[in-house]
Amino acid sequence: MKNSECYDVTIIGGGSAGLFAAYYAGMRSMKTKIIEYLTDLGGTVSVFYPDKYIYDIGGIPKISGRDLINQIKDQAFRFDPALVLGQAVEGLEKSEDGIFKLTGSNGEIHYSKTVIIAAGPGLFKIRRPQLKNIEYYEDRCVHYEPKDLTVFAGKRMAIFGDANSAFEPAIRLSKTARHVYLICNRNSYKGFEKEMKQLQQSNVEVKLSCTVTALNGDSRHLSGVSVKNIDNGKMENLSVDELIVSQGYHFDLDPVKNWGFKLEGRRIPVNENMETALEGVYAAGDIAGYPKKWRLIASAFNEAITAVNSAKARIDPSAPTQVYSSILMEK
């Protein structure tokens, strides 16, 4: 499928920086599109910090990651940017007339006068355990970082992965599940005192220095998992209905490299205008690299503003170089 419509700016990434860039581009009356690899917006904050408090936003003493993203979404869509979800940008080319051609992972073509890369630390790829036939159970009874744990009420549950990241879901599940196993390949675990006490008082059965070696079932429904003790080699079969894998993510920057950028410390070098080595392409947020960078959300907002103003100046040199007031008339 091809889309011949050309946008003033296309933003790659729908996290904090990308959403704020979309909002500010709307303020600059730019025709804007957001392309996000995940099936929802929010990026790093939504994936890793939805329930954590953020303290570095001016005028907001503290706000949860989830509430922050919800507010930035409302802000970004005030100007109705086009949105593409669940699509990675695999190709980025500049034509002779200066228009950029972006090729999506499904073959869709996007055209844009300028591009802002707000891809955070890269594409989030879940670390999948190397287990035979796991693909048959995924999305049925093998789950990765599920957000809604209420669906597991009354079930026999196992959580496999890093104990620290699995603390909270294990404790929450213990209140509604029939039984909960926490399987960790470490020989010890640490956490906040409150969490440790809650874990000890719960019905969670902790299996330290263990790894899951096999899924047992009929390829549609689990009956259990096989677990091996790393220290002594002892095998054990645990009866479970559902398995949650919590091994974290790795970040894939190969697409960015394929676009022709030379990374420095997993970042795209930019100048004071947030412009990359490819004229007309800008970066903001975690992916942007420059001397004395501060890795704060507040900094990402400022980078997004600079990138948008630079993009606006490129496509319309007669426009004001900056917008000095964010006071807008209500629609």
**Domain assignment present for 320:** no
Which of residues 230, 247, 264 is at a domain's end? 247
Q: Is it the case that residue 262 has pLDDT exceeding 50?
A: yes
Question: For residue range 224-246, what is the model confidence (pLDDT) as tens digits?
Answer: 999 999 999 999 999 999 999 98
User: Was 282 annotated as part of a binding site?
Assistant: no
Query: Does 329 fall in a domain?
Result: no
Examine residue 326 and state whether it is found in any structural domain, yes or no.
Answer: no
What pLDDT is stored for residue 186 in this prediction? 79
Question: Which residue from 218, 214, 209 is spatially nearest to 226, judged by alpha carbons?
Answer: 214
| The pLDDT value given to residue 2 | 46
**pTM for the structure as a whole:** 0.73
Any domain includes 88 = yes
Per-residue pLDDT tens for 189-212? 665 556 667 777 788 998 988 999
Residue pLDDT, tens place only, 263-300: 888 899 999 999 999 999 999 999 999 999 988 899 99
pLDDT at 52: 83
Number of domains composing the chain: 2
Pairing mode, strands 89-94 and 100-104: antiparallel
What is the rounded end-to-end Cα distance, in angstroms, of the chain? 34
pLDDT at 331: 45
* 67-88 pLDDT per residue, tens: 999 999 999 999 999 999 999 9
Domain identity same for 297 and 198 = no
Query: Would the annotation count 49 as a binding residue?
Result: yes
The 3-class SS string of the chain reads CEEEEEEEEEEECCCHHHHHHHHHHHHCCCCEEEEECCCCCCHHHHHHCCCCEECCCCCCCCEEHHHHHHHHHHHHHHHCCEEEECCCEEEEEECCCCCEEEEECCCCEEEEEEEEECCCCCEEEECCCCCCCHHHHECCCEEECCCCCHHHCCCEEEEEECHHHHHHHHHHHHCCCCEEEEECCCCCCCCCHHHHHHHHHCCEEEECCEEEEEEEECCCCEEEEEEEECCCCCEEEECCCEEEEECCEEEECHHHHHCCCCCCCCCEECCCCCECCCCCEEECHHHEECCCCCCCHHHHHHHHHHHHHHHHHHHCCCCCCCCCCCCCCCC
For residue 192, say whether it is annotated as part of any ligand binding site. Answer: no
Same structural domain for residues 120 and 144? Answer: no
> Is the pLDDT score of 3 beyond 60?
no
pLDDT of residue 329: 46
Same-domain check for residues 178 and 292: no
CATH number of the domain where residue 227 is located: 3.50.50.60
| Domain finish residue from 201, 232, 247 | 247
Note whether 286 and 225 are same-domain residues: no
Any known ligand binding at 286? yes
What confidence score (pLDDT) does residue 128 get?
82
Angle between helices 16-27 and 297-315 (to 10 degrees): 40
Same domain assignment for residues 132 and 243: yes
Cα–Cα distance between 285 and 304 in angstroms, integer? Answer: 7
The answer to whether residue 330 is domain-embedded is no
Expressed as residue numbers, the domain containing 203 is 128-247
Spatial separation of the C-alpha atoms in residues 103 and 255, rounded to whole Å: 11
